[in-house]
Structure formats: structure tokens, C-alpha cells
Structure 1
């Protein structure tokens, strides 16, 4: 029993002779990167997903394909409206066709014959009315037919003149406006059709894919999130009492424990006050509770040195 007691005392003595754990001389922080959310602009079901979480994607890469059947129906409607408006505008510019003009001339000939006959009949009956050979009622009936024939003949002459002179400018402008409106609707549908393809807006590493094939993606819903390349920075929490030891623009060395204590040369980019407890980066902060807390943002001098460090992993700096 005495033997084990001596061994235990010896181990305690060795421990007491060791230097104080260097964790007390370190400040822990976290690795951060700028994040980007990719959202959909129109509603549709996920038809295909071309990427996986953790993939490095380039700007312009297709991430997913949406199934939007409504777009095809609206596209067909818009194309039909464009054809109709185009035909109306062409008709307003070019006027009547040759066949239409032939029909109007034939109509004019027939109405002219009716007019000439009514005119002759009116002259004959006028003399008879003077001699009291026919009643006034009969004269009035012939005069009414004459007036009707004259009106129809005058109308067809005006119609032919309009056709020959072209459609009024106001009608052409109205037809052109309808055509532009139809083209705008078609362009809108084509733009919506492009939204079927979910495209990467920047080079990034995909962190999460929120939906699966077959699920409905609503407008504004986040479909993918990713971290941007070469945006790595480190953040540390310090109390106000230690704030004077750190200056913006100073160089500082950051250690990455999980990469066998890899050293990264950095520069203090910014120092700002922390407004929420959840933003504290240090796992076990040692500070007076009355002290205000500040966050130090540290930027690597060479972005490539921090490219392989995992987001949210722990890093350290030496206390000053």
C-alpha cells in the first residue's frame, strides 16, 4: 500500500512541476467565410439536381432544373398574340388587298347604276307632279329612293378613297402599340422560361441543398447555400479591458489546431462591438462580466493559405 502511495505522490509532483497549461495563454476563434444564398424567382418543382453538397461550382454552372408547365402554356398564348398583332399592323400599313379593292369597285359600279336609275326616275316624276298626273306621295317615295342611292354611292366612293390613301396614322399607331405589347408579353415568357435553370451566380463551395427532386420551390425560397472562395477570415472575442492590446492593421499569427498547429500570417481587418451573446467566438471566454465584448476580424495575408481550412473550425491566437 505504501508503495502505491509513493507512486501517486511522485506523479502529482511531476504534474506540479510541468508548466501551466498553455490554453490559458490562447484566445480561441472561429473560421468564417462569406456565404451566398441561391433562390428561385418563379414557382416550380425540382426536376433535376446536378450538384452535391461540398462541390466547387463555377459562376454560370447549372445547379438544378425546375419543371414549370405554366410557362409553356403562356408561351403558346404569347406567340399567338404576336402573330395576330403583326398581321393587324401589316394590314394597317398596307391597306386593303387587290381582291378587296376589286370588290369595292364592283360595289361602286352597282351602286352607281342604282343611283343613275333613281336620278332618272326622279326627273320623270318631277314633270308629272307639275302636271298633277301623280300624287305627291308617289313623288316623295321616288325622291327618298334617290336620296338613299346617292348616300350609298357617296359612301362607297369614300371607302375606296380611304383604301387607296391608306389607313389613318392613329390606327397604324394603335396597331403598332398592340404589336409591341404582344412582343413584350412574349419576351416576359421567354425570361421566365430561362428561370427554369437555377444558375450559380459566383464561384462557391456548396454547403447545403435545401430541396429534393419532386419538391416544390416557391419564389424567394433558398434552394442552395454556399461559401465564396477566397473570402476566409477569422474572428475572435476579446473583452474591453484587453482592447488596447490589439490595433487595426497590425499583423498577427493565427494557429489552426486540427491542421497540426498550422500557422497563418494575418492582419487585423476590423474591431467591432458584439451586440449579441450568440456572436461570441471564444468557447470559454475569460473576462469580467462588466466588460463590453468586442470582435476582432482577422484576414489572412495570403488567401490561398486559408483555402483548405474548414468553415466554423476552431483557430487560436496568443494572448497579449
Structure 2
């Protein structure tokens, strides 16, 4: 074998040994630990307190809406009928209140006054008649029976005059304080009923409680929806976070405020910084189960949430988030 062949064989052998060493190193070296999370956002489900049929939808899925924008209208003939009933009851109560506070009409007062004056004149006549009969009885002209009858008619006429005077005073004074208070209470009750029905009627017009994007419309025009049914779902893309499920043996390197260098595959290779804002107080399901009866134990999972330190344009719920564990710095004052 020539020298050139020997050198070529030696180089080939070195290359083979090098390749085997690299392959062995890669087999023996564990791959980097990747933490995968999912982007979430605040979601609001818009529903009504009353049943109704959808009359109009003003939005479409994917549409951006501002707080206060009208989303849909419901039609509810029953609520409209109740409003008419409550309004009529309020008018009737107001009329009773006005009557109680105004008192008797001028015609009623004049009639009561005339009745009193008539009774007073009759009582005066009866008194004069009794006085004459009493003198005649004293002279022995009329019997005692006639005197007693005249006295009884005089007393009855006086009582009638007093009753007529009381009726006149009552007509002038108007209703009693208790009647006025009762009329006021009836008006307040009727107004409360109207306010309640009007509040229900406002529930037929549903508006956006915040500026967000329409993520789902769960019913169509003409469908009957029940109270509490989420007709429109809104998602606030400006209020997003990433949720990770971490094994408990990884928690020592996570604290509130820990910064996580994160990559979103849907947004390229750029790195974004997330800040841990929530660590679950209680562990959830077991991520890893022990296989040996001794010297091993189950590892629970804890939910960890982290928010972007700066707004990330284009970030949407459901996107994956990747954190390389080796790139994570240890909490301050601790060894990795």
C-alpha cells in the first residue's frame, strides 16, 4: 500500500470516529427542554336578561366594535304589553294622588255649605218653636207631650246642623293625611313598576360592554333566545396572556415577575419577553406518574400565566408560545 493510500485510509478512519463521537454525544445529551403554552385573551359573552326573538343583528364575526356600539335588537311583545299596563296603572295612581291632594271640588264645597246653612236654619226654627211651646206649657195651654216632641225635634235639628257643618269642614280640608300618604305610596309603587319594565325593555337592545372583536355569533335573526344565552361573544385582543402548565419540579426557577424569553411560531423567529403574573396556588392533574413503588412520586402540574411586557401586534388567542428552559435565567439570588 502506497503512502497516499495509507494517508487516505487514516483520514477516513478519523472522519468515521469523529462522526461516531458526534452521534454518540447527541444520543447521550438530552434535548433542550421546551415549555409550550397557549395564548389566551379576555372573552366576554353578551346575553340578555329576558327571552326574545332576534330582530336585527348589527355586527358580523371578525368585526371590530367599540364600547357602547349596538350589537343586536330583540323583539318581545310581552314586555311591551307589560309596559303599557304599568304606564296605565301609573296614570291611574297619579290621578288618585292629585284628587287626594287637591281635595273636593268647588261645587262640592258649595253644596256642603248650602246643606249646612239649610240645617242651621232648620235648627234655629226648631229652637224658636220649642221656646214658644215651652212658654205655652208653662201657662197650661199645651200638654207636656207636645212640649217633649218640640224639644226632641229641636235637638235632632241641632244635631243635623252640626253634622252638616262637619261635612262642610271636611270638604274644605280635603282628604285625610293618611289618604294622601296612601295615594303617594301608590304612585311610587306604580313608578317602580314602570321603571322595572323599562329596564327589561332596555335589555332588548344589547350593546358592546368594551372595545373588542366579535369572535362568534351564536344565533341568527328570527331565532328565539332564552335569558342568559350568549348571543354574541367578544374577545379583547389588547388583553392577552400566555398560559403554561408546569411540572412542580420546574417551579423553583419560576417566581412572580420572572421574565420568560418566548417565541411565537405563528409570528416568526423573533423573541418576546413575557412577565409571570400568576402562579396557581393549588396543583392540578399529575403530569408524570411514578412507576416504582419506592423512591418515586407523582409530579403535579401548576398553571402559570405570563403577560407580554410590551404589546405584541398580531397576537391572537390559540397561538402557541415556546420557551427554551435553558435560556431562562434563575430567580435573583439563586443558583440555576
Q: TM-score, normalised by structure 2?
A: 0.74
1:316 aligns with 2:331: no
Q: Indicate which of 208, 213, 222 corresponds to 1:200.
A: 208
Paired residue for 1:67? 75
Instruction: Indicate if the aligned counterparts of 1:47 and 1:66 stay in contact, CA closer than 8 A.
Output: yes
Deviation at 1:206, TM superposition (A): 2.3
Q: Distance in 1 between matches of 2:132 and 2:178?
A: 47
Paired residue for 1:9? none
Paired residue for 1:90? 98
Structure 2 matches for 1:221-232, cutoff 5 A? 221-232=229-240
Paired residue for 1:3? none
Q: Distance in 2 between matches of 1:141 and 1:76?
A: 63
Paired residue for 1:77? 85
Q: Distance in 1 between matches of 2:215 and 2:282?
A: 26
Paired residue for 1:296? 304
Q: Distance in 1 between matches of 2:274 and 2:117?
A: 98
**Higher relative contact order, structure no. (Cα contacts within 8 Å, ≥ 6 residues apart):** 1
**Matched positions, count:** 296
Q: Distance in 2 between matches of 1:276 and 1:115?
A: 98
Q: List gaps (5 residues or longer) in structure 1.
A: 1-12
Paired residue for 1:40? 48
Q: Distance in 2 between matches of 1:70 and 1:23?
A: 66
Quick one: structure 1 residues 113 and 230, their matched pair in 2 at CA, closer, same or farther if it must change by over 3 Å? same
Q: Distance in 2 between matches of 1:153 and 1:172?
A: 28
Structure 2 matches for 1:211-222, cutoff 5 A? 211-222=219-230
Q: TM-score, normalised by structure 1?
A: 0.77
Instruction: Indicate if the aligned counterparts of 1:203 and 1:229 stay in contact, CA closer than 8 A.
Output: no
Q: Distance in 1 between matches of 2:82 and 2:213?
A: 36
Paired residue for 1:5? none
Instruction: Indicate if the aligned counterparts of 1:206 and 1:225 stay in contact, CA closer than 8 A.
Output: yes
Q: List gaps (5 residues or longer) in structure 2.
A: 1-18, 291-297, 327-336
Q: Indicate which of 154, 179, 184 corresponds to 1:176.
A: 184
Paired residue for 2:257? 249
Q: Distance in 1 between matches of 2:52 and 2:159?
A: 62
Q: Deviations over 1:250-278 (max 9, x none)?
A: 2222111123334322222233366444x
Quick one: structure 1 residues 226 and 106, their matched pair in 2 at CA, closer, same or farther if it must change by over 3 Å? same
Paired residue for 1:53? 61
1:235 aligns with 2:258: no
Deviation at 1:201, TM superposition (A): 1.4
- Report which stretch shifted further, 116-125 or 211-220: 116-125
Determine helix, strand or coil for the equivalent of 2:97. Answer: helix
Structure 2 matches for 1:98-137, cutoff 5 A? 98-119=106-127, 122=130, 131=140, 136=145
Q: Distance in 2 between matches of 1:146 and 1:81?
A: 50
- Report which stretch shifted further, 40-49 or 162-171: 162-171
CA RMSD between the two structures: 3.4
